[in-house]
Chains A and B, each alone.
Chain A
């Protein structure tokens, strides 16, 4: 049982109120879709939900089986894919996965890494440096990193940007899969992706 509670979140940056009083409760199997034009605070809100940015007011609590997770447990409970999150270019795909698994203290094996790479369509490319990857392949690898902890909360920022059709199909399957695992937060401006949502948050609604 996973529950994401956003309670009156506000955040200002350099005198400008970016997010004001955002509220939502999302439960296992549900998807929250966040919309709003560029600069409306989507990415900021996602950082707050992920737990790496502290809001000025309010809170973003992640509850698993009735217990609120502290920052330390969030490390292994949150998967996050966003255009402005980057993996290490000078490491190979396999080394990237290995590094993130180790800092998250996840049980890890070569087989699991290969399985993940296959799931995101990068089978056989584990030894290549990320720097040599195309932008679509990098996005796929980000999905592999996000999935390696079997996230209770998955945060996707513009999930299909940069991806081709087969990539979009993988994301589609992943979004369905997340319904059994926990909560999904999806930030997008693509009308096509609105169909995934159970709850909708329009950041421009407040003006």
Chain B
């Protein structure tokens, strides 16, 4: 957590985003290879980083879930809230990737939804994390809820990369998504802007995550301050005839 208040990397995000957007429209030339509308190729700048970051944040959730269940401080509910915050950020990213993808699909394939394998995969991914929050809501006891949902977040983090990158590439499954655009077909300008956006979005989502963690810490402190718990001590008392009436503990 940052103790200096506003950090340099946070201040930089605004100008970086404006600058990259300007570069994306005025510096990068529209692409003709395979795109119906060359201008629409700029989808790469927003859609692809969002899909990647979604997966990254689900991994972060899985990491905190492993820490909660197996780590040194296992049972610490702060790790559990980190799992759920990372899932929130990841879910937001996957939803944005899906919506931006649907806009592009309308332009490119004339329909927002054509059950392309990647669309199916991301839909199932969204369902996993909606189910995660469904499971959270159905358990009241905080420790039990944390254990059940952490176990599920680990399952999700294992299934997610398979869904996103393995299932759509099975031999019998045909995807309309370009498979080689990022690795081969991009010129250096595009590659640079794309990387820039990826870094900036990583920063924005990390900031979001940090704010959630800080907010939760403040809330926990406030509820602890107003909670008289553990002030009371209930101590076993010895039978009067059996000797002293003082407490048995000590």
Q: Which A residues are within 8 Å of any B CB, using their own CB?
A: 6-8, 10, 12-14, 17, 19-26, 32, 54, 56-57, 197-203, 205-207
Task: Check B229–A25 contact: CB distance below 8 A.
Answer: no
Task: Check A12–B229 contact: CB distance below 8 A.
Answer: yes
Complex contacts, A20 vs chain B, CB 8 Å = 229-234
Majority DSSP secondary structure for residues of A touching B = strand
Task: Check B232–A206 contact: CB distance below 8 A.
Answer: yes
> How distant is A21 from chain B, measured CB to nearest CB, in Å?
4
Our pick among A23, A54, A202 for the contact of B249 (Cβ within 8 Å) is A23
Kindly state the separation between the CA atoms of A70 and B250 in the bound complex, as whole angstroms: 23
- A10-B229, A10-B230 are known contacts. Are A24 and B235 too (CB-CB below 8 A)? yes
> How distant is A156 from chain B, measured CB to nearest CB, in Å?
16
Q: Which B residues are within 8 Å of any A CB, using their own CB?
A: 75, 140-141, 143, 229-239, 242, 247-250
Task: Check B239–A21 contact: CB distance below 8 A.
Answer: no
Q: Which 8 A-B pairs have the closest CB atoms?
A: A24-B236, A206-B232, A23-B249, A21-B233, A199-B236, A206-B234, A20-B232, A201-B236
Task: Check B236–A23 contact: CB distance below 8 A.
Answer: yes
Our pick among B143, B231, B242 for the contact of A54 (Cβ within 8 Å) is B143
> How distant is A15 from chain B, measured CB to nearest CB, in Å?
9
- Residue picked from B229, B235, B247, most chain A C-beta under 10 Å: B235
Task: Check B248–A199 contact: CB distance below 8 A.
Answer: yes
- For B236, give the chain A residue with the smallest CB separation: A24
Our pick among B140, B233, B242 for the contact of A206 (Cβ within 8 Å) is B233
Complex contacts, B237 vs chain A, CB 8 Å = 199-202
- A14-B141, A54-B143, A199-B248 are known contacts. Are A21 and B236 too (CB-CB below 8 A)? no
Kindly state the separation between the CA atoms of A7 and B239 in the bound complex, as whole angstroms: 20
Our pick among B75, B141, B231, B236 for the contact of A32 (Cβ within 8 Å) is B236
Complex contacts, B141 vs chain A, CB 8 Å = 13-14
Complex contacts, A197 vs chain B, CB 8 Å = 239
- Residue picked from B141, B233, B234, most chain A C-beta under 10 Å: B234
